[in-house]
Amino acid sequence: MIDVRMAELDDIDTRVLDLLKSKIGREREIAMDSNVVEDTGLDSVSVMDFVMELEDEFDISVPLDEIAEVRTVSDLAGVVRRLTAAGASV
Amino acid sequence: MGIKNRAAAMQSAYSALKALGRDPTSLQFDRIVSPTEALLGNKPIMLFGTNNYLGLTFDEACVEATVAAAREHGVGTTGSRIANGTYELHRALEQEIAQFYDKRATILYSTGFLANLGVISGLADKGDHLLIDADSHASIYDACKMSDGETIRFRHNNPDDLAKRLARFEGTPGDKIIVVEGIYSMLGDSAPLAEIAAVKREAGPNVYLLVDEAHSLGVMGETGRGKCQEAGVEDDCDYIVGTFSKSVGTTGGFCVSNVEEFEALRAYSRPYMFTASMTPPTVATARAAFQRMAEAPELRERLWQNCHRLYAGMAKMGYRLGPEVSPVVAPQLPDPQTAVTLWNMLIDAGLYTNIAIPPATPNALSLLRVSVSAGHDDGQVSAALEIFAEAGKELGLLKPGNIAA
Ligand SMILES: Cc1ncc(COP(=O)(O)O)c(C=O)c1O
């Protein structure tokens, strides 16, 4: 059970990273510790637009004030993970 | 982080654009001659970037009422209504606006920006949710930041996307407040309010709709109440916010509502309580302007004639414009440099427009915002079209065959 859960969480990291990669195109290399603005070339509005894609992909609601705290791809995946888990436990 | 770093980042972002000519952030008019004409230095320039949709800034009745109010009631209130008291004039304007909309109550704010800050932050409490259109005005975004509620964006002008996001909240406690604008100020496109109101109705009783009619008041609807009136959904619009800084021709803002608890905001909406109230002259201008709007529906007709002519003319030349005819005509340009270059060329030719570049624009668009006024005469519209044709040709934006303006 626990293994399945861990696999799901790792999977969220990968899915978030892959979605972001396909949003920004091939020219830039990004990883989990990349900064979602500085390392992606996206402006703050495009990051918010990307969050709408994540909301649809994971069927969650991500409040704007949570996005304001996000620095890295890993932070963003962390928000998704937490909200996905919260949704599942309701 | 740091004051110096932030200023330096701004400077490096904009210095290349300033180098193309004038500084778009600090153009100075040396004299404003009429709602549609000014002097830049001693050179006359036509104003097509004012939001002065009905051309009321020099309207004789408005000017007279304003001057008389200054003489009679003084030039300022020197404080908020909570501290310094309400003037009879404030109350009269609030009642007149409530009557105009046929709603229970109006609350005045000192600007439209403050109205959004005060109302939106005051309505959404901890546990409530704001669902805002992704292309919302800065004042709506800042209001959401100030609010204790949580904010979710939905895709611009997309009722299905709104419905999907509302559905994710099914079963969660708290009120849901949808926030949209009548006309969006960047591309001039208007909200599909009938569909949005239907989504709201289906979502249940704890879902409210707030419409910012900043650019649609005095412009749309049978009596000029705005997009809610035009779409026939005024009963579904729980809160209507507006500004006096566009069609009304002065400064100030308001919210009008039928919701029973609405006026409680006066006791806790900080942008109402802790800033000086509208001055007697600005209140008097607004009152006179609402009266002019009622007496002179031909102003609205005239505005739309000009909108149609300008939009059709520019579209025919080959400019890529917003999706519908509107008092904001917004040619889309390939990049910020081209937008600033064209803006400078138009000014050199005697035509003033607004520049709009990322991050202030949706989808990183670079635009000019051309705002149309009932005050423009046929000659001015023709002249503006000619200037656009010439400049567009010179910049290589338009194919030569298209340019029969
Ligand atoms: C949609 C919208 N809301 C609010 C405002 C603010 O209005 P005001 O100029 O009265 O502060 C504006 C104008 O800038 C606007 O475009």
Relative to the CA of B185, which ligand 1 atom is closest? Answer: 16
| pLDDT for residue B235 | 97
Atom of ligand 1 nearest to the CA of B251: 10
Low-confidence residues in chain B, pLDDT < 70: 400-405
**Contact between residue B353 and residue B48 where contact means Cβ atoms under 8 Å apart:** yes
**What does the alpha-carbon distance between residue B181 and residue B185 come to, in Å, rounded to a whole number?**
9
CB atoms within 10 A of CB B104: 13
- Please state, in angstroms and rounded to a whole number, the distance separating the CA atoms of residues B386 and B392: 10
**Helices and strands (H, E) in chain A, number of each type:** 4, 0
Percent of residues, chain A, with pLDDT higher than 70 = 86
Residues of chain B with CATH 3.90.1150.10: 13-47+297-395
pTM of the model: 0.96
pLDDT at A3: 62
Percentages helix, strand, coil for chain A (3-state, rounded to 5) are 70, 0, 30
CB-based contact B333:B339 (threshold 8 Å): yes
Instruction: Please indicate if any CB of chain B lies within 8 Å of the CB of A17.
Output: no
Nearest chain A CA: its distance from B304 CA (Å): 32
Q: Which residue of B154, B155, B359 is in closest CB contact with A43?
A: B359
Task: Write down the architecture of domain B60-295 according to CATH.
Answer: 3-Layer(aba) Sandwich (3.40)
> Is B168's CB within 8 Å of A61's CB?
yes
State which CATH number among 3.30.70.270, 3.50.50.60, 1.10.3470.10, 1.10.1200.10 fits the domain covering A2-89: 1.10.1200.10
At residue B224, the 3 state secondary structure works out as: coil
Residue B390 CB coordination number (10 Å)? 16
Q: What is the pLDDT of residues B84-142, one digit of tens each?
A: 999 999 999 999 999 999 999 999 999 999 999 999 999 999 999 999 999 999 999 99
| Per-residue pLDDT at A6 | 65
Name which residue sits closest to atom 7 of ligand 1, judged by CA: B112
Is B155–A65 a contact, with Cβ atoms under 8 angstroms apart?
A: no
Check if the beta carbon of residue B179 is closer than 8 Å to that of residue B152: no
Predicted local confidence at residue B10, as pLDDT: 86
Q: What are the domain boundaries of chain A?
A: 2-89
User: Which chain B residue has its CA at the smallest distance from A48's CA?
Assistant: B153
Q: Are B151 and B176 in contact (CB under 8 A)?
A: no
pLDDT at B405: 43
Section A28-37 average pLDDT: 93
Cα–Cα nearest to B392, from B325, B306, B305, B316: B316
**Is the pLDDT score of A10 beyond 80?**
no
Give ligand 1 pocket residues (Cβ under 6 A): B 111-113, 116, 137, 139, 181, 185, 212, 214-215, 243, 245, 253
Give Cα A38 distance to the centre of its chain. 16
Give residue B215 CA to ligand 1 midpoint distance, Å. 8
Alpha-carbon distance of B355 to B274, in angstroms, equals 33
Residue with tokens 């180098």: B19
CATH 3.40.640.10 placement within chain B: 60-295
CB contact under 8 A, B134 and A44: no
- Please indicate whether, in this complex, the C-beta atoms of B168 and A49 are within 8 angstroms of each other: no
* Diameter of chain A measured on Cα atoms: 41
Contacts A45 to B, Cβ<8 Å: 358-359, 362, 364
Cβ B174 vs Cβ B209: under 8 Å = no
Strand segments, DSSP code E, in B237-349 are 239-243, 253-257, 328-329, 332-333
The atom number, within ligand 1, closest to the CA of B136 reads 1
The strand pairing partners of B179, in sequence order, are: B132, B210
Residue pair B260/B94 in contact by the 8 Å Cβ criterion: no
Average pLDDT over residues A14-41: 92
From the number of C-beta atoms within 10 Å of its C-beta (0-12, 13-18, 19+), residue A23 rates as middle
Which residues in chain B touch residue A51, judged by CB atoms under 8 angstroms apart? 153
Sign of CA dihedral B26, B30, B34, B37: negative
Provide the CATH topology of domain B13-47+297-395. Answer: Aspartate Aminotransferase, domain 1 (3.90.1150)
CA-nearest residue to B360 within chain A is A45
Nearest CA-CA distance, residue B125 and chain A, Å: 14
Both structure tokens of B53: 């949709």
Could you tell me the distance, in angstroms and rounded to a whole number, from the CA of residue B329 to the centre of ligand 1? 17
User: Taking phi first (over 0 means left), then psi (-120 to 50 degrees means alpha), and beta for anything else, what does residue B318 get?
Assistant: left
As a whole number of Å, the end-to-end CA separation of chain B is 50
